[in-house]
Structures are given as C-alpha cells and as structure tokens.
Chains A and B, each alone.
Chain A
Amino acid sequence: QVQLVQSGSELKKPGASVKVSCKASGYTLTRYAMNWVRQAPGQGLEWMGWINTKTGNPTFAQGFTGRFVFSLDTSVSTAFLQIFSLKAEDTAVYYCARDSGSGGYYTDVWGKGTTVTVSS
C-alpha cells in the first residue's frame, strides 16, 4: 500500500544540523510532489514548503528560507528535510505529506512524523 516512512526521533544541540528522511513506498516518488509540514509542541500545522520530485526544485513558505533544505534521492525513493543551525524553536514534529497529484493542492498521504528536539 502507499505509505511514507519517516526516520526516527532526533535529539540535537543548538547550532547542530539534522536530516529527516521520508521514504515513499507503494508508488513512484517522482510522480507526486512532496510537502513538508511542521507542528511545534501543542501548536497547529505549519506548511514549510514542497519539492517538485521530478525536477528537485523546492518552494519554501515564508519563514523557512535560509536554514532549510529539501532534497531527494530518487534511487531509494526518499525525500529529505535538512535543517541547519538548529534553534530551540525548531523543536517540533516534522511531517512529510504527498501532494495528491490532481492539481487540487491538497495532501493525501502523510508520514507518521519525526520528532526533532533541540536542547543543550
């Protein structure tokens, strides 16, 4: 079945970097764009941006430029989110979510989330 399998929880110190993976199974990664969504503790969903999985071209939401990188390794059907110069406020659950591919700008499959904790 179609699913997105995300990497496990991470504990990082401020200033470090983290790379979260999202492996697509049951479908071809490059046929659907991939979104990334952040959810800080006790807070709502925040759209971070998306990556065109055909071209690798990323689009970032306001507030997610500079320290955030979206990338792909199509040979292993995996999308990545990398965050540099981590801050305490980056502590959150990060979700990858597949675009439906229908042009309707909604996500139909979500990973279970990766918890990133930034603490000294």
Chain B
Amino acid sequence: QSALTQPPSASGSPGQSVTISCTGTSSDVGDYNYVSWYQQHPGKAPKLMIYEVTKRPSGVPARFSGSKSGNTASLTVSGLQAEDEADYYCSSYAGSNKLVFGGGTKLTVL
C-alpha cells in the first residue's frame, strides 16, 4: 500500500485557521470512515487527535476537527495557538487488516 499524500508544510498566524489535507485512494480513505490524525512534537511520541474521520478523543481541544470528501480527508485547526506547532500525520485503514500513514505535514505557527 502507498503512503497517503499530505502537503509537507502548512502555516498560519495565531488565532487563524489552517487545514491540512490527506489524499488517498478509493481503496483506503475513499472506502472507509477510518481516518485518524496524530500530532507529534519533536522528540515525542505521536498523540491521537482525531479518529474515525471526525471524532475527538477526550482531552483534545474542540479547535481540532476532521472531515472527509471522497478520497481526501482533512484536519482543520481553528484558533491556532503556539503549542499547535508540530508534525501532523493522517492514517487510514486500507483493507485486509492493514493501515497506512501519510507522509506528514509540518505545521508552523507564525
């Protein structure tokens, strides 16, 4: 299975909104509502931010939201804060009990 496609970088000023895309195929993102998003700060383990396309685990701020249209999923961060600066990875179920990650997006808060 090929990695999902994410833009290498994204940026926004504090208080603004930014959306990160994650493009797959009809065999992964397009076929299943099992897209998740992870946040990773430098030197740290990834942290789950969104699961099943739109759901937020407890403790994750409501500023983080997810959506999907066709083969592309998106993560939107509203009201950007300095601590949101991190790498973000999408993941999707790809059938046959397999997962696939995106290449990652480095989010910079200007």
Contacts and interface: CB of A to CB of B under 8 A. Distances in A.
Contact of A104 (B47, B52, B97, B101): B52
A95 interface: yes
- Top 8 closest A-B pairs, CB basis? A106-B36, A44-B104, A105-B93, A110-B45, A105-B34, A106-B51, A45-B101, A47-B99
Given A105-B93, A113-B45, 4 more contacts: A35-B99, A44-B87, A105-B99, A107-B48
Interface residues of A, number: 23
A104 B51 contact: yes
A108 B45 CA distance: 11
Interface residues of B, number: 28
Contacts of A111: 45
Contacts of A45: 38, 40, 46, 89, 91, 101, 104
A100 interface: yes
Interface string B87-110: 101011100011111111000000
12 contacts: A44-B89, A45-B46, A47-B99, A47-B101, A50-B99, A106-B34, A108-B48, A108-B51, A110-B47, A111-B45, A112-B44, A113-B45
Does more than half of chain A's interface fall in helix, strand or loop, or is it mixed? strand
Nearest to A47: B99
A86 B33 CA distance: 37
Interface in A88-120: 95, 97, 100, 104-108, 110-113
A10 interface: no
B51 A44 contact: no
A61 interface: yes
Nearest to A110: B45
B3 interface: yes
B99 to A, nearest CB: 5
